[in-house]
Amino acid sequence: MASTSPGYAITIRVDGPPSAQPVAEVTNAITAAGASITALDVVESFIDHVVIDVTCDAIDADHADRITASIAEHPFLNVRKVSDRTFLLHLGGKIEVQSKVPLKTRDDLSRAYTPGVARISQAIAKDPSDARRLTIKRNTVAVVTDGSAVLGLGNIGPEAALPVMEGKAALFKRFADVDAWPVCLDTQDVDEIVRTVQIIAPVYGGINLEDISAPRCFEVERRLRDLLDIPVFHDDQHGTAIVVLAALKNALKLVKKSLRDAKIVMSGAGAAGTAIARLLVASGAENIIGFDKDGLVSEHKEGDDRMRTWFVDNCSPGDFRGTIGEAMVGADVFIGVSAPNVLKESDVANMAAGSIVFALANPDPEIDPAIARKYATVVATGRSDHPNQINNVLAFPGIFRGLLDGRITKITTEMLVAAADAIADCVSDEQLNSNFIVPSVFDQRVVTNVAAAVKRSG
């Protein structure tokens, strides 16, 4: 059975007569429905009725509805209200702008705005490089999307992508004190995206591309890197690749295998899959067999984009021409960035001893992690409710902290590998085990170490 998650937390207000033991009955109903109670509070207590607020984590939205229905069916319990805690958190959005300077007197206004601000503008007009020193530019990142490939939701458009980009901006601030702002574009035309980002770039010290579908994302990134004098980072590609490499290095250390000798099967040859493969090859991997929705990635096809061409040229399966199930026989590592239920239980059972499974499709992985753990030594997912979460937040805050502080304009493969090493090194030999191959996202050393590695590599 799938696990409950705080992402589907609800608070239910219930009342009932004291004689019916409403606290006990509510608790029994919720636990019987398979939910996890996280809080319970008696809000009011009277002679004839008691009011209770109970908060619980559900598996998904349908499960939350079933939990509520099971309480409502009780003859002595009355459901007054149900609040979805995730929706409550998003009311009015998750980020805001605050002034860093006091604006309490006329003197304050004269310096922060007219006439004093004119002197700053004149200084920047004379020397545009002063914009980084005298404005928000030196610590501000644009989080740019067209809403075409949002999480596991697909092409849902710019408005629906906005909550995700807000979340990204909040993570930037929380973990690296970088001021980021969502830029959700109402176009999916590559030329328009590139031109729009180009003309808004003077405000920002870096561009974080997010949730743009492949293969357009490759072209957008390539062209912007050529056009702009600030770093352009595609988190779906490079952020994911960095954390996967860090996690895999530690997992291989645990099972005493080398990256060079490991047989690696990949599912997904899009933005993330290709970026992962590039970093693995740059770090010494020599045996990668890749699959996409059409099967084995082994031959060039008419209309192939640059990234798929690279994958075919650098991840040749040799004489192998079988299915993913056949490729899994004797494999040391599986990395999935594709779709749910790509693997069968027998596929993992047929892997080599000391196998590693990274089933990263989100929210539903390529195989149920509980099933994979029956056979694999190390299992990682993209979910926060399982150990070994491969989470981009381990990478992008520190990456941009280093880029901005080092005034670095271009991102290199060496820089990405150095960032992966910095993340991996945050897990000591004493800490390393099958359920802890990457550090916690709340480990304060991660951003500091990644930023330092980026600056050294730049």
Q: For residue 437, with 0-12 CB atoms within 10 Å meaning exposed, 13-18 middle and 19 or more buried, which class applies?
A: buried
pLDDT at residue 305 greater than cutoff 80: no
pTM for this predicted structure: 0.90
Sheet-wide strand order for 378-381: 295-296, 288-292, 264-267, 333-336, 356-359, 378-381
Examine domains 141-230 and 243-458 and report if their fold is the same: yes
Task: State the chain's mean pLDDT as an integer.
Answer: 95
Is residue 248 within 8 Å of 352, Cβ to Cβ?
Answer: no
Which residues are known to be catalytic?
113, 168
The long-range contacts involving 228-232, CB below 8 angstroms and separated by at least 24 positions, are: 228/197, 228/198, 228/201, 228/409, 229/409, 230/201, 230/204, 230/205, 230/206, 230/409, 231/206, 231/207, 231/400, 231/403, 231/408, 231/409, 231/410, 231/411, 232/206, 232/207, 232/411
Distance (Å, whole) CA 253 – CA 170: 34
Is residue 336 within 8 Å of 267, Cβ to Cβ?
Answer: yes
Kind of pairing, strands 5-16 and 78-84? Answer: antiparallel
**Could you report the per-residue pLDDT of 84-135, keeping only the tens digit for each?**
999 999 999 999 999 999 999 999 999 999 999 999 999 999 999 999 999 9
Is residue 13 within 8 Å of 53, Cβ to Cβ?
Answer: yes
The SS3 assignment for 328 reads coil
CATH 3.40.50.300 fits 243-458, yes or no: no
Calculate mean pLDDT across residues 289-306.
86
Distance (Å, whole) CA 86 – CA 22: 26
**Could you report the per-residue pLDDT of 52-94, keeping only the tens digit for each?**
999 999 999 999 999 999 999 999 999 999 999 999 999 999 9
**Could you report the per-residue pLDDT of 345-391, keeping only the tens digit for each?**
999 999 999 999 999 998 789 999 999 999 999 999 998 878 999 99
Selection from 184, 194, 187, 201 nearest residue 219 by Cα: 194
Beta-carbon count within 10 A of 76 CB: 13
Q: Which amino acid is at 68?
A: T
Distance (Å, whole) CA 73 – CA 65: 12
| % of the chain exceeding 90 in pLDDT | 89
Q: What separation in angstroms does the CA of 192 have from each of 154, 186, 202, 208, 236?
A: 20, 10, 17, 17, 20
| % of the chain exceeding 70 in pLDDT | 100
Handedness of CA 209, 214, 218, 223 (dihedral sign): negative
Calculate mean pLDDT across residues 298-305.
80
Q: Tokens 């937040």 belong to which residue?
A: 393
Q: The domain 5-90 belongs to what CATH superfamily?
A: ACT domain (3.30.70.260)
**Could you report the per-residue pLDDT of 194-216, keeping only the tens digit for each?**
999 999 999 999 999 999 998 89
Residues 6+ apart with CB under 8 A from 149: 155, 211, 212, 213, 214, 217, 236, 271
Q: Which helix (H) or strand (E) holds 217?
A: helix 216-227
CATH of region 141-230: 3.40.50.10380
Distance (Å, whole) CA 9 – CA 363: 16
Query: What pLDDT does 1 receive?
Result: 52
User: Domain boundaries in the chain?
Assistant: 5-90, 141-230, 243-458
Distance (Å, whole) CA 203 – CA 209: 16
- Tokens coding 129: 């490089």
Q: Which helix (H) or strand (E) holds 31?
A: helix 22-32
Q: What separation in angstroms does the CA of 227 have from each of 35, 203, 221, 411?
A: 51, 15, 10, 14
**Could you report the per-residue pLDDT of 207-248, keeping only the tens digit for each?**
999 999 988 998 999 999 999 999 999 998 899 999 999 999
Distance (Å, whole) CA 435 – CA 381: 11
pLDDT band at 300 (very low <50, low <70, confident <90, very high): confident
Residues 6+ apart with CB under 8 A from 175: 393, 397, 398, 441, 446, 447
Beta-carbon count within 10 A of 210 CB: 28
Distance (Å, whole) CA 375 – CA 434: 12
Residue with the larger pLDDT of the pair 443 and 2: 443
